[in-house]
Chains A and B, each alone.
Chain A
Amino acid sequence: MRYIFLLSILLMGQCTALQAQNESAFLKGRVINQWGQVLPKAQVRVLPLIECTFTNQNGEFSLQIKPGRYELIIGMLGKEEFRQEIQMEPRNNLTLSSITLKDSSNLLEEVVVTGSLYPQSLKQTVYQTRVISQEQIQLRGGTNLQAILNTELGIRFSNDLILGTTDIELLGMSGQNVKILLDGVPMTDRGATRESLGQIDINQIERIEIVEGPMSVMYGTDALAGVINIISKRSDDHIFKINARLQEETVAHEYQPFTSSGVHNASLSLGYKKNGWGLEGSLSRNNFGGWQGDKPGRAKAWMPKEQWLGSAGIGYNNQKIRISYRLNGTDESLRSLGDVNTNTQMAADKYYLTKRWFHQLHSSYQISDRLKLGVQGAFTDYSRKTQSSNLDVTTGNRILSMDAGAQDRSTFQTTFGRGTVVYQFSKHLTLLGGIDFTQNQSKGARIQVNAPSIRETALYISPEFRISRLKVRPGLRFLKNSQYTAPPVVPSINSKLQISKWLDLRMGYARGFRSPDLRELYFSFFDASHSIQGNPNLKAEHSNSFNASLTAGIPFKSPLRITSTLSGFYNHFQNLIGTAIRADNPAITTYLNIEKFKTTGASWNNQLFFKQVSASIGFQYIGRYNRLGADALTNGESNNFNWTPEVNSNISYQFKKTETTVGISFKHTGKQPLYESPSDDTYRLINRAAYNMADLTFTQKLGWNLKLNGGIRNVFNVTSINSGSALTGGRGHQSTADIPLAYGRSFFLGLAYNWAKINQ
């Protein structure tokens, strides 16, 4: 399976060879499966040392280590882990002739990095982590992340058709409470909306890791609802590779080949690595022609978008040092076309032009067997320009609009630095600590002129204790912010108990927080009836979060494998920043720490692998409570959680003979009850309609390194759902009853070319 190969390569990338020592001796071994076949590329670790190695083509490994007592751990995807205590004597080699790795009863050997400094298997990590693998991403054939994530439990998307942006909601919390990381480094967004999620090249993603619940100790602000860590593809040693992709997609019924209507994706990436030096580069074009919908004129229901996404990277590693630099560039143009003003035959168009330069530096240093240092740095240079122009439709002349507010350019700059240290005291205690630094600076028409830059410095420490089958990982983060009084310390504790060989229990408590952003502190917007002002006296939002999960890898005789996870969470958010009318001047709306919010829920996820079938089914039930302020109860809001069910399923089947894979992804999002406020002192319960999303997809190998990919997206032809809202406003405040979700059933066909050559 190519899948295992990829992961092994990834693991290999994280190992460094052991060093010769005077007193040391060789530990040698050979790894086989239960039928006696050798197993290459199994990961070999010797605790408490941090280093690891892999078995060669003959299933053999050899490590030179100092005398002492160790624990040997050998792992491989799809196999049960092998563990054995070993005693190394001075200059006395130890050979273990046949170490047998049995087929695993579950797939919990998948490797994740979120929340940790070195890769850990899903089974080992103390966080309940979801992984969307490369195979799933490929099978879905998506051209953006939204197309991959929209059938995940607990994830919803909301679309702002006026601004052309899409925001994510995780476990009932909107975008600004979701931390988006690219290889562990936070992405910058200009406001509350997580636009960055749509500005990542899907062709460069290796896998996606989702951790629900606050990870504020490790990742700081914004991680209240959870973390989405996008892991990008890395070059493999001695390999020269070329990947290319061309995909055409309809937008509902609208399509023109390669231009205008429809979705057109083209991508090329190259990578090369030799003698420790690696080079890589990629360029993708993502063109969305917009969707006319039921709009009669020039204006479209969904505005056209053209994206260029590029990356370039260089890296070097030897036995001690690993260092890489990567630049991701995004160039996005959204074109909001105006209807023709029939009185003047002029049409006013607005272009939203976004540029993002995201520089990243990753490095790690192996100081000694037990000590590893890591340094990460990132700089984001982001600008968004609003360019308004008027087109004379009779002559075709286009000129810039002279309206005072029509041209705007906002810039955001984020500097980020992180230093981490991992020290393995003993096999019972590993210490992880780090320093974070973030500086945000912004300029734009709606930001107060003298808005200062915001600097946040944090120190965190998180030791991991291992006592027999119990792992406990407490953590503390100490904060200092230049512009507001940050919570001085943020705690968390996570634990994992291996109840039996196939049953793990995880429990955690974490305090999450979100620092007020630039907009909330320094926003300034005045017009006829709206005066919105930032509030520099805001405090951080914070939450108390509890979660527990029970994971069972139910042992069946091969080849059937089932894993099942039952989990629950409870979050209590306080000091949430909302808008309110200022007490001293009711004409001004400002941001205040007024809102409280609670969410709770349970989910049950099941995965099944049987021969060529891979299937998952999950259920989630989320309750949301009291969104509308402290006096909500007296005004008619109920004292209960409002529950929404969600069900999802992914099924794929592989026809081995023809090398075809077919898949179906499905999600049902249930009716969502929520309260709205028709006037100041009343609330009423409304229901946001339920909907189903499903994709039918296939991939077919063609030979010549080509792969065909196609399918139907949005099988149920969903466009918008009824919000249930009965609010109608006055002259300036018409509200819509429909929430736009998607543009209807679409079809796609793509061709991928993946060529790799091993250069020894």
Chain B
Amino acid sequence: MNTKLYYCLAFIFLSLTWSSCKDNEISLPDQLVQFEASEQGMNETDEELSIKLKLNREATEDVSLVIDLTTSGITYGTEFTTSPQASESGIQLRIPKGKSETEFIIKKASDLLLDGDESVNFKIKSVTAPVIIGSTGNLLLKFGPIISIGTTLQLNGLIGNESGSSAGNAVFVDLSNNRQTAVGRSSWDLGFSNGEEFRVIINNLTSATARLTNKTDLNQVTAADTLEAGNWSLGYTPESFNLIDDPLGDLSKTVIAGISPSDGENQVYILNPGTGGGLPVRPWWKLRILRKGNDGYLLQYARIQDQSFKTIEIKKGADHHFQYVQLSTEAKIVDFSPASSQWDFRWSYALYQTAFGTTNIPYAFFDLIAINQHSGVEAAEVMASKISYSNFTEADLAGITFENDVYKIGSNWRVTSSSTEPVGVRTDRYYLIKDTTGNIYKLRFLSFHSNDGGERGKPKFEYSLVKKNG
């Protein structure tokens, strides 16, 4: 009797232990290595191009891979080379443990004359286990511009280990060239317009703010000037619009007034570089901007407490919309966006606006998609209930109205919190984008969040050519 009892109790203990040990063990996805896209073009102006090979997750141990190349109409060694160099067996590459990508560089010989139909086919020949080759194991590189027929891209929004909901990169996408360019969104502080107007923007990808002082001498501005103005950081109030540029990108409504030809009218501004989207606090700047001749700016800048200031000259350029300047002890001009004709939209954290009660307030969004409105890109939203994504063809373009609203796609393509819709990409709609050269693509988002099977900070979309330009 007692023995039975002890058996019973032992059973209960065992069951307890069992139920606590059992765990829903779910395996990690297979490790795949592949190119970013199956076709890319190297423009006439490009001297070199980096080709990335990506793992879908961090390497659990060192990965070695070999890339085979087959040329067509172009000779390796004389007309182009790669770094690292190709041997008999191909290009040897390595992805160290903990990393998820590697790259090799293609360099064209200088003064090379090409017809534009030369190409190289790269193929992942082998990779060390347990990694396997993904579906994009081939890359056709054409030595001339291409018009992609479409592909699937996953944007690389993460710089390092930052959380996906505070992704550090802004990513520019060139659809026709299957190309993405990821740049740290806090890598610049001021953008000087290359257009006819003399306007300067502050960084809305870091929620930077600026305020006018009533002084024209930088050295007269001290820490005291940062006090009386009260709040220099954004709050959820309509008044906060006074601290930032027009969220829709209207250059006539920048927080820094148009730069006057008469120096005496250009007053000192105080700039808070912003902490938006998980950025560390950075020191503030005082700055004053003057015109320099008919086609340039002169920036005077210093830290708030400095007794003297430095200057940098910024000459207007042609290829880009803005000349970007990074402020530091020695301010410098930096590359941020690709040339204005070489991107169609930008994915990034950005400061925009939202309705609050009866008014709008500045409001920052992650995953905000801005089309390249200044280079003629236009977009339209199509509800799948009208025509499904796969059935949409050139014939359906009639009746579609394209708009150049910078945030036509904006944040409409996904839901981050809602009581009525599932969090994730919206599968009930897709977009049409008329790119900088007039090609029309249909584009739908596949995933961007753990709730839709994706990864935050690495949105995935597919697109397909509907109509070629011309």
Contacts and interface: CB of A to CB of B under 8 A. Distances in A.
Interface of A: 240, 268, 270, 272, 279, 281-283, 297, 299, 308, 310, 312, 329, 331, 333, 338-339, 341-344, 346-348, 350-351, 353, 355, 357, 387-390, 398-406, 526-529, 531, 581, 585-587, 678-680, 729-736
B168 interface: no
A353 B19 CA distance: 12
Interface in B277-308: 277-278
Given A281-B9, A341-B447, A404-B457, A310 B26 contact: no
B64 interface: no
* Size range of the chain B interface in the assembly: 35 or more
Nearest to B8: A270
A434 B425 CA distance: 57
Contact of A390 (B234, B236, B359, B453): B453
Nearest to A734: B418
B383 interface: no
Contacts of A526: 163, 165-166, 277-278
Contact of A401 (B19, B419, B453): B453
B420 interface: yes
Interface centre among A268, A310, A531, A731 (most CB of B within 10 A): A731
A281 B158 CA distance: 51
B446 A528 contact: no
B172 interface: no
5 contacts: A270-B8, A341-B424, A402-B455, A528-B366, A732-B363
A341 B422 CA distance: 10
A351 B356 CA distance: 34
Contact of A348 (B163, B275, B444, B453): B453
Contact of A528 (B365, B418, B452, B454): B365
B354 to A, nearest CB: 3
Interface centre among B1, B422, B450 (most CB of A within 10 A): B450
A338 B354 contact: no
Interface stretch (B10-18, B114-122, B127-135, B184-192): B10-18
A732 B19 contact: no
A587 B12 contact: no
A351 B424 CA distance: 17
B316 interface: no
A283 B19 CA distance: 10
| A-B pairs with lowest CB-CB distance, top 9 | A730-B354, A346-B453, A403-B450, A679-B357, A406-B450, A281-B12, A527-B165, A736-B419, A310-B16
Contact of B450 (A297, A348, A733, A734): A348
A404 B414 CA distance: 18
A735 B419 contact: yes
Contact of A403 (B235, B236, B427, B455): B455
Contact of B56 (A272, A282, A402, A730): A402
A587 B235 CA distance: 6
B164 A732 contact: no
Nearest to B451: A348
A237 to B, nearest CB: 15
Interface in B1-53: 1-2, 5, 8-9, 12-13, 15-16, 19-20, 23-24, 26-29
B427 A341 contact: yes
Nearest to A330: B20
A346 B452 contact: yes
Contacts of B457: 404
Q: Tell me what chain A mostly uses at the interface: helix, strand, loop, or mixed.
A: strand
Nearest to A677: B357
Nearest to B426: A343
Contacts of A272: 2, 5
Contacts, number: 195
Interface string B439-470: 00000111101111111110000100000000
A405 B231 CA distance: 33
Contacts of A730: 354-356, 361, 363
Nearest to A280: B9
Contacts of A341: 424-425, 427, 446-447, 452-453
Contacts of B234: 586-587
Contact of A343 (B8, B23, B237, B445): B445
A388 B462 CA distance: 24
Contact of A344 (B364, B422, B453): B453
A344 to B, nearest CB: 5
B81 interface: no
A346 B411 CA distance: 22
Contact of A731 (B1, B13, B365): B365
Contact of B447 (A346, A528, A731): A346
A355 B27 contact: no
Contacts of A342: 427
Contacts of B422: 297, 299, 338-339
B97 to A, nearest CB: 17
Nearest to B359: A679
Nearest to B10: A281
Contact of A587 (B165, B276, B365): B276
A378 B369 CA distance: 53
A348 B26 CA distance: 13
Contact of B28 (A338, A344, A351, A399): A399
A399 B29 CA distance: 5
B312 to A, nearest CB: 29
B253 interface: no
Interface string B395-429: 00000000000000001000011111010110100
A678 B364 CA distance: 20
A399 B27 contact: yes
Interface string B350-376: 000011111101011110000000000
A400 B447 contact: no
Nearest to B411: A731
A587 to B, nearest CB: 5
A735 to B, nearest CB: 7
B277 A405 contact: no
A135 B29 CA distance: 53
Given A587-B233, A734-B420, A404 B163 contact: yes
Nearest to B23: A353
Nearest to A736: B419
B414 to A, nearest CB: 10
A617 B13 CA distance: 43
Contacts of B27: 399-400
B347 interface: no
Contacts of A400: 26-29
A678 B411 CA distance: 24
B16 A403 contact: no
A418 B457 CA distance: 49
B270 to A, nearest CB: 16
B349 interface: yes
Given A405-B165, A526-B165, A731-B411, 7 more contacts: A270-B12, A341-B453, A346-B447, A400-B28, A403-B455, A730-B354, A730-B361
A585 B233 CA distance: 6
Contacts of A587: 207, 233-235, 275-276
Nearest to A327: B16
B169 to A, nearest CB: 14
A403 B456 contact: yes
B57 interface: yes
Contact of B26 (A279, A281, A389, A733): A389
Contacts of B389: 343
Contacts of A404: 158, 161, 163-164, 455-457
Interface string B148-168: 000000000010010111100
Contacts of A297: 422
A680 B238 CA distance: 11
A308 B19 contact: yes
Nearest to A356: B20
Nearest to A728: B355
Given A351-B24, A527-B366, A528-B277, A402 B166 contact: no
Contact of A329 (B16, B165, B355, B418): B16
Nearest to B15: A283
